[in-house]
């Protein structure tokens, strides 16, 4: 599923509920436990469409219920990454809840909006197969199958166009 960036007026409660429901399902299917702590960390990630650094997660959890030591947040993040419930955005050293599972042969593109700082993920099977072919050709086995692409999301493109237009009028 390639949903891209949600609109600015989307039902965000739904995003969070969907992410949590998917995580419960995935953990049940694999027989692993989404402990209350892991759940809180994932929820904090799901509540933001911008990636959060580990320290930011610690800060956010402090504001909700009892604080969680950074070490525990790191351990919960390790679990979420290993189970494919969250992604690490390397260029920002920050984390994002994964909204859908991934097939092993597809490649994940993280679209990083430079203006609103939101990140959306889209997947491509064709790119993934291309990558496999190219890397196998030189005897390399690729582990991380993600690409980060920076630019402007749809909403920000519209905002920028409006700003440019109003500047044009005032001149």
Q: How far is the CB of 80 from Zn ion (least distance, A)?
A: 11
Q: How far is the CB of 163 from Zn ion (least distance, A)?
A: 13
Three-state DSSP state, 90: helix
Residue 15 makes contact with Zn ion by CB under 5 A = yes
If the CB atoms of residues 7 and 136 are measured against Zn ion, the closer one turns out to be: 7
If the CB atoms of residues 80 and 153 are measured against Zn ion, the closer one turns out to be: 153
Restricting to residues 40-99, which ones interact with Zn ion according to CB under 5 A?
A: 98
If the CB atoms of residues 69 and 114 are measured against Zn ion, the closer one turns out to be: 114
If the CB atoms of residues 45 and 156 are measured against Zn ion, the closer one turns out to be: 156
Radius of gyration of the CA atoms of the chain, in A: 18
Give the interface segment with Zn ion, choosing from 1-9, 52-60, 66-74, 136-144 (CB under 5 A): 1-9
Residue 112 makes contact with Zn ion by CB under 5 A = no
CB within 8 Å of 27: residues ≥ 6 apart: 33, 34, 83, 85
CB within 8 Å of 10: residues ≥ 6 apart: none
H/E segment holding residue 123: strand 119-124
Angle at 27 between CA 26 and CA 30, to 5 degrees: 90
If the CB atoms of residues 32 and 122 are measured against Zn ion, the closer one turns out to be: 122
* Cα torsion 159, 160, 161, 164: sign: positive
Q: Which of 19, 73, 120, 153 binds Zn ion (CB under 5 A)?
A: 153
Residue among 145, 43, 132 nearest 88 (CA): 145
Question: Which residues are at the interface with Zn ion (CB under 5 A)?
Answer: 6, 12, 15, 98, 113, 115-116, 121, 153, 156
């Amino acid at each position: 599923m390639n949903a891209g960036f949600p609109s600015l007026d989307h039902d965000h409660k739904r995003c969070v509920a969907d992410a949590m429901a998917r995580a419960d399902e995935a953990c049940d299917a694999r027989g692993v436990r989404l402990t209350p702590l892991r759940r809180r960390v994932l929820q904090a990630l799901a509540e933001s469409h911008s990636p959060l650094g580990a320290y930011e997660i610690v800060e956010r959890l402090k504001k909700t219920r009892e604080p969680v030591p950074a070490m525990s947040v790191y351990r919960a993040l390790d679990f979420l990454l290993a189970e494919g419930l969250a992604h690490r955005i390397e260029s920002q050293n920050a984390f994002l809840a994964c909204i859908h599972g991934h097939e092993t042969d597809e490649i994940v593109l993280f679209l990083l909006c430079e203006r609103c700082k939101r990140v959306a993920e889209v997947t491509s099977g064709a790119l993934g197969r291309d990558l496999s072919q190219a890397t196998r050709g030189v005897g390399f086995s690729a582990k991380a199958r993600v690409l980060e692409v920076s630019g402007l999301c749809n909403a920000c493109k519209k905002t920028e166009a409006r700003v440019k237009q109003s500047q044009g009028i005032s001149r």
